[in-house]
């Protein structure tokens, strides 16, 4: 059975379509996981740590700090997409700051339809690692009581190929890096526009689709696997 079919079966059985916010809060109280990270080198940090990072920002003060090299278009008439991969050739001008969040693992999540249709590579053996990321409502608060976003982590544990999908229908997921649009090319999937970036062995993109904010980042998956994943979300 393909991973896409496994996802559809898994989430039709396990997703709680009611809001499980109270249950997640109880889980947080039990785990009481508090994380504070100071980001020094993004390149040396494993992708699994990106969940505790919200603070490394690309500063493009003079429009020369980040240099993009857009790919030739990747076009599929059958699947209706035109893709440009914007490779990051230079990443000067990094700023960094601390991220103060709270994270919990959980097993029952509110219903999001896209989860049942994800096209995940068939060699991935871990496909249901879910997390919830909470922040404080203001700097004076002692409680982590605002749910910022959910995360789904999928991986091949043998070779460290990974996919991280952060999503929220209320907030933009916290992330470590931000990219300016100048010099990059916009892709289209089913007439929906988004910008795709590549840095070394990682692909990444952020977009809002069907009122859900997405932040997707991958490690060591192929270009076509990344495109297939996006096509499975953007119908």
pLDDT on residue 101: 84
Six token digits for residue 179: 């990219």
State the average pLDDT over residues 212-225: 98
Kindly give, in sequence order, each residue whose CB lies less than 8 Å from that of residue 129, ignoring residues fewer than 6 positions away.
Answer: 105, 152, 153, 154, 155
Tally Cβ neighbours within 10 Å of residue 44.
6
Give CA–CA dist 138/183, Å, rounded: 35
Give the number of other CB atoms < 10 A from CB of residue 23. Answer: 15
Look over the chain and give the mean of its residue pLDDT values, rounded to a whole number: 76
Q: What is the pLDDT of residue 91?
A: 59
pLDDT at position 230: 98
- Residue-wise pLDDT for 116-138, tens only, equals 999 999 999 988 899 999 999 98
pLDDT confidence tier of residue 13, bands split at 50, 70 and 90: low
- Annotate 101-133 with b (16+ C-beta within 10 A) or e (fewer): bbbbebeebeebebbbebbbbeebeebeebbbb
H-state helical runs in 18-172: 21-31
What pLDDT is stored for residue 34 in this prediction?
A: 39
* Structural contact between residues 179 and 58, judged by C-beta atoms closer than 8 angstroms: yes
Q: Higher pLDDT residue, 192 or 96? A: 192
Q: Which two tokens stand for residue 211?
A: 């009122």
**pLDDT attached to residue 225:** 98
Q: What percent of the chain has pLDDT over 70?
A: 65
Q: Which of 21, 6, 212, 7 is nearest to 112 (CA)?
A: 212
Q: How far is residue 180's CA from residue 178's CA, in Å, rounded to a whole number?
A: 7
pLDDT at position 110: 84
Nearest C-alpha neighbor of 216 from the set 157, 149, 156, 158:
149
pLDDT higher at 87 or 96: 87
Confidence of residue 61 (pLDDT cuts 50, 70, 90): very low
Residue pointed to by tokens 């896409």: 4
The answer to whether residue 97 scores a pLDDT higher than 50 is no
Q: Is the pLDDT of residue 40 over 60?
A: no
Alpha helices in the chain (DSSP H): 3-14, 21-31, 223-233
**Helices and strands, number each (H, E), in the chain:** 3, 16
Q: State mean pLDDT over 86-109.
A: 69
- In the predicted model, is pLDDT for residue 51 greater than 70? no
Residue 234's pLDDT is 98
Place of tokens 């969040």: 101
**Which residues are paired to 87 by β-bridges?**
69, 198
Q: What is the per-residue pLDDT for 113?
A: 92
Convert the pLDDT of each residue in 131-182 to its tens digit: 999 999 988 888 999 999 999 999 999 998 999 999 999 999 987 666 667 7
Q: Are 194 and 229 in contact (CB under 8 A)?
A: no
Number of other residues whose CB lies within 10 A of the CB of residue 148:
19
């Amino acid at each position: 059975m393909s991973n896409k079919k496994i996802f559809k079966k898994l989430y039709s059985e396990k997703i709680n379509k009611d809001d499980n916010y109270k249950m997640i809060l109880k889980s947080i109280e039990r785990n009481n996981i508090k994380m504070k990270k100071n980001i020094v080198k993004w390149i040396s940090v494993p992708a699994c740590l990106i969940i505790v990072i919200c603070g490394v920002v690309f500063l493009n003060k003079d429009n020369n700090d980040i240099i993009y090299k857009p790919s030739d278009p990747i076009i599929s008439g059958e699947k209706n997409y035109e893709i440009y991969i914007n490779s990051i050739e230079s990443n000067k001008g990094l700023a960094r700051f601390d991220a103060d969040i709270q994270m919990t693992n959980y097993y029952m999540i509110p219903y999001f339809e896209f989860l049942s249709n994800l096209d995940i590579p068939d060699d991935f053996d871990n496909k249901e690692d879910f997390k919830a990321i909470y922040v404080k409502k203001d700097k004076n608060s002692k409680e982590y009581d605002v749910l910022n976003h959910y995360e789904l982590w999928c991986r091949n544990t043998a070779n460290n190929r990974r996919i991280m999908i952060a999503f929220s229908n209320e907030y933009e997921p916290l992330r470590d890096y931000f990219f300016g649009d100048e010099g990059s090319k916009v892709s289209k999937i089913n007439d929906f526009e988004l910008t795709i970036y590549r840095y070394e062995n990682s692909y990444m993109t952020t977009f809002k689709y069907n009122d859900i904010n997405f932040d997707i980042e991958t490690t060591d998956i192929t270009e076509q696997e990344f495109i297939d994943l996006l096509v499975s979300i953007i119908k």
